[in-house]
A and B are shown apart, each in its own frame.
Chain A
Amino acid sequence: MSPRFARLTMIAAGLLVAVTTVIGQAPAPGSPTRQPSGGGTYHAPRTGDGKPNLNGIWQALNTANWDIEAHAAAPGLITELGASIAVPGGLGVVEGEIPYKPEALAKKKANYTDRLKLDPENKCYLPGVPRGTYMPFPFQILQSQKHIMIVHEFAGAVRTIYMENQTPAPADSWMGWSNGRWDGETLVVDTTGFNDQTWFDRAGNFHSDALHVVERFTARSADTLMYDVTIEDPNVFTRPWKMTMPLYRRVEKNAQLMEFRCVEFVEDLLYGHLRKQPK
């Protein structure tokens, strides 16, 4: 292990302990690896290099993309689309409440009010993290030794998770800069270097460019993963907070990511006002 890698790992581990302590779930010293919520003692099959094999096409089955917090069903914003665009109710994926700072909560509410105009999803922008994971589109995990790729069907968004040669984020980006490590059965992904342009859902939940996301992917059966996320952003929240949800394998024999090159679908929305007008 290179000194730099060791240092990063220690920092990441320290941060994790700090974060989990804050949210009251720190493992007792010497205790075995913390079990993911809802997970048992499932032991995943191994890849050729002996790591838990998380390869596959996965998808969330919940309403987090509409609103990560609990919400009742509600009408949609486009009258003509009626029931097909209405919001399905859901019990939320957030543990407790999202600890917004007062001024940030006001902004969240304004985002919600103006969501038709402001939600970056409508513009086919890269969805950010963790939103990409629970959008109603599949994503694929491709595991190699040096890099683990997460490729999303939505907008063809791509994340490279560096398992080696880890560095701090060299620049801000939409999908962030991800460094990963194995913690027993769990893939832990530490992501920073975000811009402030993405949202967590269609309800206007948002973050700043100080966002720090720690994701834990743990196999809980052959065809399900537990996905635990810790969100930290001192500009927007008073403390770190968590989301938890299962992810399901797309088990169809011919499952594959289809092309969803949505830029084409939003051109009139974004640029229609700049069309040449007939004389």
Chain B
Amino acid sequence: MTRRLLIGFGIVAFGVLAIPVASQTRSAAANTKTAAQPYTPPRTPDGQPDLQGFWTNSIYTPLERPKNVTKEFYTPEEAAEMEKRAAERESAEPAAGTVADVHYDEAQFGLNRSQATFARTLRTSLIVDPPDGRMPPLTAEAQKRFADLAAARKRMGAPFDRVQNMDIDDRCLIMAGTAPPMLSPGYMSNYQIVQAPGYVMILVERIHDARIIPLDGRPHPPDNVRQWIGSSRGHWEGKTLVVESRNFNSKRPGVGDWQLAGLAFRGASQDMRVTEWFTRVDADTILYRFTVEDEKTWARPWTAELPMVKLQPQGPLFEHACHEGNYGLVNTLAGARLEEKKAAEDAAKKQPK
């Protein structure tokens, strides 16, 4: 059992408790629609609108609208049916003895979304703009970049030839979808927000990624300074926290490097800019909206919106020492080498003597 599983186990304790609460509480879609209603968030001692607490953006609604859906919103009944089907798919067991059957037992460890607090919306996609709920078409430049990167990827060899060929989440580098913008990484989609004078800190539970966002209007670092989570600068517009991020590197899957199986952003270049809006619309909900801009990849920006809902109960988050307990990575690579050895031995046996 890996450390990751052990850490996940901690979630079960409050995940199970959370089910009745989650099923009774608001549809976040309702919250989306009540954003215009006057809700005045409490203030921190230094006067910031208070976003603090433990939140989740775990959600069944897909980023892009399914191709067979043509409307922007489901009815509550349709949304519930969509969630039910998605939860069934999520907990379905692959056929025993197949490669697909080698996986975390997520249900046992309370990692399925339906086992803990999750966010809900009546929207049929998280993308709200373009209005068709789908990402804008790729530019010709982006298509060429994808082709070049796919070719480069092929030259690097098979996925398990060396650690650098493996996915960045398996390597415990960063969860591609968690920051910024922040989308659910599947399980443990949990966040802790702490506000100190002049700063908002958002702790992403997965790989304990702390986004420290200064609010003093300072400039971004020089353009040559590139980071996995970029550089974020924030300011308040009324009760909304606006965060602008740039200075990304090109190593996140789907953010411009050769790993095209992007979890979130499907190949933006490292010159991507992200703007995020955090608005507390009621005691239990932050409406989270973001816009991604990258002329090199899309002819127009695109925008998504989803609720972040309060975890029930309120934390705590446990240390996700992903790298330190990454036995899975060692075993994967060692297993690949063993298979090669066995294949070579089998081939040698077949050689005529």
Contacts and interface: CB of A to CB of B under 8 A. Distances in A.
Interface of A is mostly: loop
Interface string A133-152: 00000001111111101010
Interface string B17-47: 0000000000000000000000000001111
Most A CB contacts (10 A, CB to CB) among B196, B330, B333 go to B196
Contacts of A173: 318-319, 321
Interface residues of A, number: 45
Most A CB contacts (10 A, CB to CB) among B219, B330, B333 go to B333
Interface of A: 47-49, 53, 55, 124-126, 140-147, 149, 151, 156-158, 160, 162, 170-171, 173-175, 197, 253-254, 256-259, 261, 263-264, 267-268, 271-272, 274-276
A48 B336 contact: no
B162 A275 contact: yes
A146 B324 contact: no
A271 B218 CA distance: 40
Most B CB contacts (10 A, CB to CB) among A49, A171, A174, A263 go to A263
B337 A274 contact: yes
Interface stretch (B84-92, B93-101, B209-217): B209-217
A48 B157 contact: no
B192 A160 contact: yes
A197 B47 CA distance: 41
Contact of B196 (A125, A144, A263): A144
A259 B199 contact: no
Contacts of A254: 218-219
A147 B194 contact: yes
B182 interface: no
A122 to B, nearest CB: 13
Interface in B199-242: 199, 201, 203, 207-210, 212, 214, 218-219, 225, 227-229
Contact of A261 (B52, B157, B173, B336): B173
A274 B324 contact: no
Task: Give 10 nearest A-B pairs by CB, closest first.
Answer: A48-B45, A274-B333, A142-B196, A259-B227, A173-B319, A276-B161, A49-B45, A271-B163, A275-B162, A48-B46
Contact of A259 (B197, B229, B329): B229
B340 interface: yes
B45 A149 contact: no
14 contacts: A53-B197, A55-B197, A142-B199, A151-B201, A151-B210, A170-B318, A171-B10, A174-B324, A175-B319, A253-B218, A254-B219, A264-B171, A271-B333, A274-B334
A35 to B, nearest CB: 26
